[in-house]
Each structure stands twice: as structure tokens, then as C-alpha cells.
């Protein structure tokens, strides 16, 4: 009996071990963990996750894109509502994990969730997400900030390029350094504590590229010559460094004039456009136009872009969908002017994410295009370049926060956080230097070179009021050959003289009125 009991005990223990092993394997197979931190989205990548806008975010636009991650292989249903949980079906059987919502009300919290369909019989309901739109007052009041570029430069400058605009995304001009609050790692920066300044566009190589799309599909209720005259007047209203590109569109989108700053050439190409029969490929025109918009920002130059759509029809070709168009023009500057009777004015209005106008009269058309011209001109004065002389010398990461004083817009929409590293920062007196470093802040005044060898020289202006504009030339004997970079910030020199030769290399910062002489000896 005792032997039998032991055998039964061994069998029971064996069975328990087998059951435990099976349980563990099932946990592993289903992506579960035994530590109590099980997340079904990690176990099942088909569960909708990673929403955009971010869950519980605020100050969102009134037109935005709902995005999420999910590996569902069939399609999605999206529920969207001001109730929690959302009950209204926004769209069903969506084939992509992105959808556009527009016409939202300001200052409202919206709730949404996604139903992912793996197949006809398997559905996975995601969790409820929410976001809030910008408050209503921000459409006319307050300042929104958009960071464009953050960089650092010797000896200890943090350079923050940013844009200021209102809730209608119209540029706000005229700010000075006194209009901003600065906080470095949470500590308020007083003007007497550290040097900070704003530089304007005259400090840069600044230009704008403007893409003009003209609807030339035939419309017996519209005088097409009036459109051409208004467009030509629009082109001639600009000053400064502007480049224009013109397309026409009816059944197809066709290039009329590539980018040029020659206004006469542009207006001549516009005058040559003739009406064309057929449908209107408006959405394709918007997509093509947006594809030509690529802003560029560097410490030396800025290029900003804008799209102007002039149409007399809504889209009738149906080659592209509205949702696709809105995705393509996202984060672009687009202006819409509709002339005449439009079948679907609401959808057409969405193509102008900065401004949209509808008019029936020629003088009103000219006036609206003049408004657009003014708004585009304001763009070049609505961005700012903040130069902050940081006191940090600790080889660490820091955060410079920039806000507008007394700004009713709070949260991320009214804040710029510029992250910078102070590892190469050093103290230096204002002036023009060659090859200045943290270990040698004064740079070099003399340079000895062996025949045939090359050296690279870097120019630096510390404490200048304007972005530097450098020139280099060799005075005296031509004992070196000089090659410059595109921005003249660096020079490569090669010693071509004989031993004992001497010459002076003269570096000038034209914008700041500074000069530096480097004496070069061939050794």
C-alpha cells in the first residue's frame, strides 16, 4: 500500500508539473507576463494604439488628422463624439489608419475610438481617446508659436528660429525681445542677466516661392480674362525676393511657367492661358501644387513657400479624394479663392488652410487676392531668430523655454522648448575670430605652413548685431591658394609659395563691420 501511495503521489506531482508547464507556455504564446504588467496591446499588435492627436492633448486645430497604429488586415470603423464613450459612427470600412476630421468647434473635447477588423468574424475594439480643440478666443487673440529650427554656435549662443501667428494662422509681426519671456532650465532670464536678441529677415538670405494654380476649365458664367487680369495684378503686387511658378488645370494639371523671379515673364505666361473644355481636376491640382512647397531653414538662409488656388469649379473629375488632398496640404500654406458659383463650397473651402474666399465680382476677386498678397508678405516678418547667450558651461543638456508675455494662449501652442547641449560653450569677447575654440577662444593671429600642405580656417563673429557676411582675400604675395565654402564661413588654403614667404589673409565681416588679419608664413 505504501508503495502504491508513493506512486500515486509521484504521478500527481508529475501531472501538476505538466499543467504548470502548459500554463507557462500558454502565457508565453499569447504574449502575457506573470508580473502583473500585462498590456493587451503589446500582446496583440492589432489592437489600435499610439493615437494622434495625443490622448488628452489640448489646443488642437479645428481641422486635423486622426492617426493610430494597428495591424488589422481588413479595415476600421471610427467612432467620434462629444460623449464618452463615443457613439456616433464617423466612418466605416476604412482601409487606412488615418482619417481627416474638419469643421470642429473651438474649445470642445472630442472622444474617439477605433474598431479594428481582422477578418469578417474578428473585431477588436480599441480604448477611448480624447483631445480638445483650441479655445474660441484664440482665433483672433493671442499668439501661437511654432519652432522652425534650433542650433548652437560659438562661443555659447543658442539660436532659436520660430514663427508667430494667430488662431487663423496669420503671421504676427513687430515683436521685439521685450515681448518674450525666457526661462533657462526653469529659471527666468532677465535682460540684464544674459544677452539675448531678435534678428530679422534682413540678417538672412531670405526668399519666398509662390505656386499659383489657375482653373482654366471652361465656365460660361465666368469671364476668364478677369481671372487672368486679377492674377497678373496679384503677381505684380509683390516686392523683395520672390519666385513664382504657374500651373493651369482642367482635365489635367499642366505647368505653364517654372519658378522665376521675372514678373514680366510670369504675367505673360498667365495671359497666354486659354479656357479648356472638360471636367475640373481640382483635387489633383491641389496635390501637385502642395508637392512644390518645401520650406527650408538654416542659420544662413530661409526659403518659405505658399500655394494659391484660383478655381471656378468644385472637383468634378473624381481622380482624387478630399481626404487624400487634406493629407497632402497638411502643414503647408494654402490659400483658396473661388470665383463664381461653386457646387460644393464647403469641400472647396477646406483647400485653403490659411485663407479661403468666395466671390462673384471682379473687384472683389482683386481685393481678395490683395489680401492674400498681404498675408504672404506678413509671413516673412512673422518669424523670428532668437539668439541667446547661455551662461551654461557644464557639459550638459538644458532647456530654453520661450513664451510671449501676457499671452492668453497657454499650453504647448504658446510655448517653444529649445533643447541644447553646452559641451562646447566658452567665454569670448565680442569680435571677429579665426579658428576660435573652447580651448583657444581668441583663435589664431599667425599661421605657419609647409609648402604643399593645406589647412581649413573657420570664421566666427561673436556679439554681432547681424548674421555675418564674410569675404576673404590674400594681401601681398600670392603664396596660398584660397577655396571658400558656399556661405564663405570656411576657407581652405594651400601653401604654394617658397620657404620664407609671408602674406596676409584678410577676413572681413561686411554685415557687422569687423575685420581680422591672419599672417601666414611658409616654413
| Residue 315, CA distances (Å) to 137, 179, 198, 274 in order | 33, 45, 44, 19
pLDDT of residue 33: 39
Contact (Cβ atoms closer than 8 angstroms) between residue 286 and residue 213: yes
Label residue 65 exposed, middle or buried (CB < 10 Å: 0-12, 13-18, 19+): middle
Written in H, E and C, the secondary structure of 422-479 is: CCCCCCCCCEEEECCCCCCCCCCCEEEECCCCEEEEEEEEECCCCCCCEEEEEEECCC
For the chain, domain boundaries: 1-38, 45-134, 138-200+382-421, 205-379, 431-522
pLDDT of residue 288: 98
pLDDT of residue 240: 83
The closest alpha carbon to 242, from 206, 193, 194, belongs to 206
How does DSSP classify residue 105?
P
Work out the mean pLDDT of the chain and round it to a whole number: 86
Confirm whether 138-200+382-421 and 431-522 share one CATH topology: yes
**Average of per-residue pLDDT across 83-108:** 90
Higher pLDDT, 4 or 279: 279
Pairing of strands 296-297, 301-311: antiparallel
**Average of per-residue pLDDT across 313-334:** 92
The torsion angles phi and psi of 283, rounded to 5 degrees, stand at: -65, -40
The yes/no answer on whether domain 431-522 falls in CATH 3.40.50.10310 is no
Cite the DSSP H helix spans in 30-132: 40-43
Taking only the tens place, the pLDDT of each residue in 18-42 is 555 555 454 444 444 334 343 444 5
Higher pLDDT, 8 or 98: 98
CA distance 275 to 381: 37
- CATH fold for the domain made of 205-379: Rossmann fold (3.40.50)
Report angle CA 67, 72, 78 to the nearest 5 degrees: 45
pLDDT of residue 61: 82
Higher pLDDT, 493 or 39: 493
pLDDT of residue 18: 55
CATH H-level superfamily of 45-134: Immunoglobulins (2.60.40.10)
Cell triple for residue 477? 604675395
**Average of per-residue pLDDT across 479-487:** 82
pLDDT of residue 1: 35
Taking only the tens place, the pLDDT of each residue in 126-180 is 999 999 998 775 556 789 899 999 999 889 989 999 999 887 778 888 888 889 9
Taking only the tens place, the pLDDT of each residue in 40-72 is 445 577 899 999 999 999 888 888 889 999 886
- Residues paired with residue 215 on neighbouring β-strands, in sequence order: 249
The torsion angles phi and psi of 368, rounded to 5 degrees, stand at: -65, -40
Contact (Cβ atoms closer than 8 angstroms) between residue 215 and residue 282: yes
Cell triple for residue 158? 543658442
**Average of per-residue pLDDT across 505-510:** 94
Other CB atoms within a 10 A radius of the CB of residue 391 amount to 15
- HSE of 491, CA atoms in CB hemisphere, 13 A: 22
Pairing of strands 355-359, 334-339: parallel
pLDDT of residue 364: 93
CA distance 451 to 496: 6
CA distance 381 to 383: 6
CA-based torsion, 11, 12, 18, 22: positive or negative: positive
Cell triple for residue 434? 579665426
The yes/no answer on whether domain 138-200+382-421 falls in CATH 2.60.40 is yes
pLDDT reading at 256 higher than 90: yes
Percent of all residues in the chain with a pLDDT value above 70, rounded to a whole number = 88
Taking only the tens place, the pLDDT of each residue in 454-467 is 999 999 998 887 77
pLDDT of residue 504: 92
Taking only the tens place, the pLDDT of each residue in 424-479 is 899 888 999 999 988 899 999 999 999 999 999 999 998 887 778 899 999 877 88
**Which value, in Å, is the radius of gyration of the alpha carbons in the chain?**
31
Amino acid at each position: 500500500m505504501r508503495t502504491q501511495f508513493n506512486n500515486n503521489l509521484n504521478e500527481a506531482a508529475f501531472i501538476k508539473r505538466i499543467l504548470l508547464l502548459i500554463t507557462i507556455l500558454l502565457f508565453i504564446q499569447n504574449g502575457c507576463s506573470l508580473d502583473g504588467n500585462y498590456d493587451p496591446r503589446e500582446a496583440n499588435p492589432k489592437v489600435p494604439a499610439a493615437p494622434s492627436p495625443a490622448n488628452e492633448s489640448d489646443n488642437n486645430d479645428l481641422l486635423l488628422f486622426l492617426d493610430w497604429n494597428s495591424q488589422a488586415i481588413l479595415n476600421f470603423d471610427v467612432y467620434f463624439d462629444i460623449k464618452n464613450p463615443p457613439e456616433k459612427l464617423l466612418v466605416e470600412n476604412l482601409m487606412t489608419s488615418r482619417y481627416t476630421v474638419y469643421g470642429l468647434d473651438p474649445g470642445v473635447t472630442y472622444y474617439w475610438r477605433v474598431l479594428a477588423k481582422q477578418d469578417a468574424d474578428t473585431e477588436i475594439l480599441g480604448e477611448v481617446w480624447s483631445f480638445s480643440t483650441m479655445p474660441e478666443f484664440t482665433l483672433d487673440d493671442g499668439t501661437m508659436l511654432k519652432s522652425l529650427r534650433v542650433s548652437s554656435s560659438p562661443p555659447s549662443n543658442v539660436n532659436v528660429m520660430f514663427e508667430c501667428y494667430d488662431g487663423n494662422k496669420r503671421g504676427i509681426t513687430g515683436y521685439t525681445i521685450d515681448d518674450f519671456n525666457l526661462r533657462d532650465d526653469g529659471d527666468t532670464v532677465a535682460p540684464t542677466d544674459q544677452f539675448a536678441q531678435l534678428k530679422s529677415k534682413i540678417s538672412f538670405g531670405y526668399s519666398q516661392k509662390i505656386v499659383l494654380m489657375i482653373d482654366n476649365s471652361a465656365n460660361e458664367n465666368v469671364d476668364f480674362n478677369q481671372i487672368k487680369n486679377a492674377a497678373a495684378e496679384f503677381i505684380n503686387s509683390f516686392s523683395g525676393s520672390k519666385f513664382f511658378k504657374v500651373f493651369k488645370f482642367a482635365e489635367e494639371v499642366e505647368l505653364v511657367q517654372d519658378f522665376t523671379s521675372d514678373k514680366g515673364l510670369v504675367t505673360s505666361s498667365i495671359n497666354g492661358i486659354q479656357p479648356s473644355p472638360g471636367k475640373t481636376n481640382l483635387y489633383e491640382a491641389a496635390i501637385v501644387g502642395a508637392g512644390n512647397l518645401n520650406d527650408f531653414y538654416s542659420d544662413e538662409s530661409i526659403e518659405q513657400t505658399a500655394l494659391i488656388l484660383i478655381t471656378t469649379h468644385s472637383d468634378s473629375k473624381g481622380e482624387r479624394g478630399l481626404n487624400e488632398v487634406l493629407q497632402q496640404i497638411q502643414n503647408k500654406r494654402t490659400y483658396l479663392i473661388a470665383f463664381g458659383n461653386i457646387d460644393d463650397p464647403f469641400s472647396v473651402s477646406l483647400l485653403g488652410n490659411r485663407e479661403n474666399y468666395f466671390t462673384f465680382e471682379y473687384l472683389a476677386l482683386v481685393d481678395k487676392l490683395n489680401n492674400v498678397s498681404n498675408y504672404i508678405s506678413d509671413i516673412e516678418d512673422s518669424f523670428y531668430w532668437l539668439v541667446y547667450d547661455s551662461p551654461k558651461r557644464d557639459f550638459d543638456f538644458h532647456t530654453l523655454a520661450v513664451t510671449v508675455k501676457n499671452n492668453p494662449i497657454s499650453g504647448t501652442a504658446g510655448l517653444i522648448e529649445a533643447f541644447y547641449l553646452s559641451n562646447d560653450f566658452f567665454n569670448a569677447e565680442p569680435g571677429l575670430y579665426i579658428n576660435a575654440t573652447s580651448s583657444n577662444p581668441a583663435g589664431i593671429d599667425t599661421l605657419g605652413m609647409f609648402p604643399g600642405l593645406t589647412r581649413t580656417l573657420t570664421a566666427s563673429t561673436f556679439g554681432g548685431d547681424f548674421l555675418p557676411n564674410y569675404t576673404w582675400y590674400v594681401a601681398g604675395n600670392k603664396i596660398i591658394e584660397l577655396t571658400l565654402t558656399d556661405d564663405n564661413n570656411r576657407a581652405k588654403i594651400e601653401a604654394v609659395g617658397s620657404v620664407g614667404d609671408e602674406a596676409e589673409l584678410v577676413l572681413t565681416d561686411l554685415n557687422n563691420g569687423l575685420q581680422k588679419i591672419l599672417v601666414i608664413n611658409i616654413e
